[in-house]
Structure 1
């Protein structure tokens, strides 16, 4: 159930305020509108590998639940039509962050996130922050005004995802205090040609306080195992073991990355070989849900993934014996790969 400004959201409208209706109502709520205006005055924090503090970064379709005694910051970026979601246990400070990219992963994705946040105290309540998913309508708007609910829910990728997220929160039994809803019109700006793009595409949460900042990560801080984790995002759509799920990435209790295995097919290599010859513009329009809104390194990141798939078409090279890839934190806050030794029978 959703709470806003400590007050439960009413379900008393003539038609149940779920999905699109609920989202529109929340977007117009005075408390959340005020928070969005405050966020717009902030600058995105730049996160580099040299940034002080222990942090955990998650890619698209991943999630991680972190313990504030082990991790100082957790975040994600590169969200255009995707959504970054933060759920924080008000009592323990345990925090889960997910980068959701498609409505069908939302329901089970919340179950995955909450599995590491709920303890024996069934009265626990959660703070929630939602950021990303700009107004990706095909019709250009010069002033940022949402024309109608019909326009939003029948066009673009962002609105259906956001609607599913708030609908799922409202239907669940847990108490979710929505503190931030910086999506769609709130998170949209326009260039001189009328192209829309997000104001912020990333977030960083300070685990000790639960405070949220818009953030951008550079190439050195999107780690560990960047390329394999990026490839898993695309491959997971063809791997039935990940159907409807967020990708498992991080070991909460031991503060290490355990990148669960994912299979990719020869088709992925064929696509890589075909796409590597495309122009930069064609890559954007072929591979992105928001070609005019992607970051400057989108094309380079895509090419590096394809090169890896061409060189290593068999997923078992990356996940021998279908075992995870494990990375432990180093003394300086970085990550090192652990070689898993398989015991042999005598």
Structure 2
């Protein structure tokens, strides 16, 4: 796969968040906008909640799921993999355990759910991972970006 960030094909993956924000300051601005959105409590019907160390994937026409989500990502990173043509989506709440396997499984499952949709690309979104003194979130970001199926 080809890695495209902010519409620009990348020769290399960003090695850390500092490099990512330096090359693409729009991501820092987008993160600030996301943080400014008030939280919303969602009721159980139609909600698929993903806990830490869990992953779920759904097709857009799933009658049982209207919202897929997670919360409380401090040093954890919530990873979203989406097929732009079909709307198939996978979400995981990663803490550093089994990162390679989880991201690989997410990409594979989204590709399975998108079968039959010729148009579309695999999109990756990362949420969470605050800057902690021990560097856990930074290590997790680097591990996610090293997963072969992403690029």
TM-score band w.r.t. shorter chain: 0.7 to 0.9
**Structure 1 gaps, min length 5:** 12-16, 138-154, 175-346
Q: CA deviation at 1:123?
A: 6.8
Structure number with greater CO (CA < 8 Å, separation at least 6) is 2
Provide the residue aligned with 2:102 in structure 1. 109
Sort the Cα spacing of 1:58 and 1:173 in 2 relative to 1 into closer, same or farther, 3 A: closer
Equivalent residues of 1:136, 1:156 under 8 A apart: yes
- Distance (Å, rounded) in 1 between the aligned partners of 2:150 and 2:32: 30
Structure 2 residue corresponding to 1:100, chosen from 84, 94, 112: 94
Provide the residue aligned with 2:136 in structure 1. 157
Equivalent residues of 1:19, 1:166 under 8 A apart: yes
Give RMSD over aligned pairs: 2.2
**Structure 2 gaps, min length 5:** none
Provide the residue aligned with 2:73 in structure 1. 79
Equivalent residues of 1:135, 1:158 under 8 A apart: yes
Provide the residue aligned with 1:200 in structure 2. none
Q: CA deviation at 1:45?
A: 1.8
Provide the residue aligned with 1:312 in structure 2. none
Structure 1 residue corresponding to 2:19, chosen from 25, 39, 57: 25
Equivalent residues of 1:86, 1:98 under 8 A apart: yes
* Residues 261-281 of structure 1 deviation map (CA, whole Å, 9 limit, x = unaligned): xxxxxxxxxxxxxxxxxxxxx
- Distance (Å, rounded) in 2 between the aligned partners of 1:116 and 1:82: 22
Q: CA deviation at 1:124?
A: 3.9
Provide the residue aligned with 1:243 in structure 2. none
Equivalent residue runs for 1:172-321 within 5 Å = 172=149
What's the TM-score, normalizing by structure 1?
0.38
Task: Tell me if 1:35 matches 2:10.
Answer: no
Task: Tell me if 1:56 matches 2:48.
Answer: yes
Task: Tell me if 1:4 matches 2:21.
Answer: no
The alignment of Structure 1 onto Structure 2 pairs a total of residues equal to 144
